[in-house]
Each structure stands twice: as structure tokens, then as C-alpha cells.
């Protein structure tokens, strides 16, 4: 049995087909890669805004008092930063841990008060903004 030898395509035609295939694949991938790049840039921009807001934010806890008879902690906190803050969580930790939410919006230098009930032997009070990652802690002595 004899096999007939057939020639392959010429190197020139092979090169042309390879270039055409590469161009068509890159044409299909370009919109997809552009969309991924835009999504990444938007995420980075949002994160940058949060970091800048956090750097410009500050909370100070003031006038904290514990009433042993009522087992109540009362106090206040002030926005001393330059960013308006809102939606706070006040946590009092001691023998037990109690939280309250304060949904007020605080502009610069504005003060609000809080009351946390059913607290035994409080040690620390922490106020944290849910809007921007900023918090403050006060130790009761």
C-alpha cells in the first residue's frame, strides 16, 4: 500500500490565518475586558471616597455616667470631624454587653445623647458609625 504525500498549506497562508484568528479573538475579548476594567475602577473610586471620609471623621464620647440603682449608662458623643455622620451603634461592655442604635445625623461639632439600660458593672463605652468606619471608646473608671 502506498501513501500519497500531500502538501500542507504554504507558510504565507498559515501566517495570514494565524493573524486573522488572533485579531478575531482579541475583537471578541476587548468589550469584556473593558467592562471588567471599568468595574474595577468604580470599586476603587468608591473605596477611595470611604477612606477619605474616614480620615476626615472623628467621634468624641463625653459626659458618661453610670447609675447603679437604675443600671443605666448615660452620655453623649460629638462629631468633631469634617464629615457628616449618621447611624451609630453605642455598645456598653462590662459583665454583660448591651447595644443601642442612634439614627440621628450629626454634622460637624453637633452633639447627641444616648441611654443604655440593663447594664451591670460597665467598663467601656464604644460608639461606632455605620456609615463610615470611625469609632471612639471611653473607659469607665
User: Pick the residue with more confidence: 22 or 131?
Assistant: 22
Query: What is the model's pTM?
Result: 0.64
Average pLDDT of the chain to the nearest whole number:
87
Distance CA 116, CA 42 (A): 40
pLDDT 10s digits, 14-62: 899 999 999 999 888 888 888 888 887 777 777 777 777 777 888 999 9
Strand order in the sheet with 72-79: 59-67, 72-79, 111-117
Distance CA 112, CA 105 (A): 9
- The CA–CA distances, whole Å, from 83 to 68, 86, 92 equal 36, 10, 25
User: Pick the residue with more confidence: 138 or 44?
Assistant: 138
End-to-end CA distance of the chain: 102
Burial label for 75, CB within 10 Å (0-12, 13-18, 19+), is buried
User: Pick the residue with more confidence: 73 or 33?
Assistant: 73
Query: Is the predicted pLDDT of residue 97 greater than 60, yes or no?
Result: yes
The predicted model gives 66-75 an average pLDDT of 92
Amino acid at each position: 500500500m502506498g501513501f500519497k504525500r500531500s502538501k500542507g498549506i504554504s507558510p504565507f497562508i498559515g501566517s495570514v490565518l494565524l493573524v486573522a484568528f488572533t485579531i478575531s479573538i482579541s475583537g471578541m475579548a476587548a468589550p469584556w475586558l473593558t467592562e471588567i476594567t471599568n468595574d474595577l475602577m468604580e470599586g476603587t473610586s468608591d473605596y477611595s471616597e470611604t477612606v477619605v471620609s474616614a480620615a476626615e471623621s472623628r467621634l468624641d464620647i463625653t459626659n458618661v455616667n453610670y447609675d447603679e440603682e437604675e443600671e443605666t449608662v448615660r452620655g453623649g458623643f460629638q462629631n468633631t470631624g469634617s464629615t457628616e455622620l449618621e447611624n451609630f451603634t453605642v455598645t456598653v461592655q462590662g459583665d454583660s454587653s448591651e447595644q443601642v442604635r442612634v439614627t440621628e445625623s450629626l454634622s460637624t461639632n453637633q452633639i447627641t445623647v444616648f441611654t443604655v439600660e440593663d447594664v451591670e458593672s460597665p467598663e467601656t463605652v464604644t460608639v461606632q458609625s455605620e456609615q463610615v468606619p470611625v469609632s471612639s471608646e471611653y473607659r469607665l473608671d
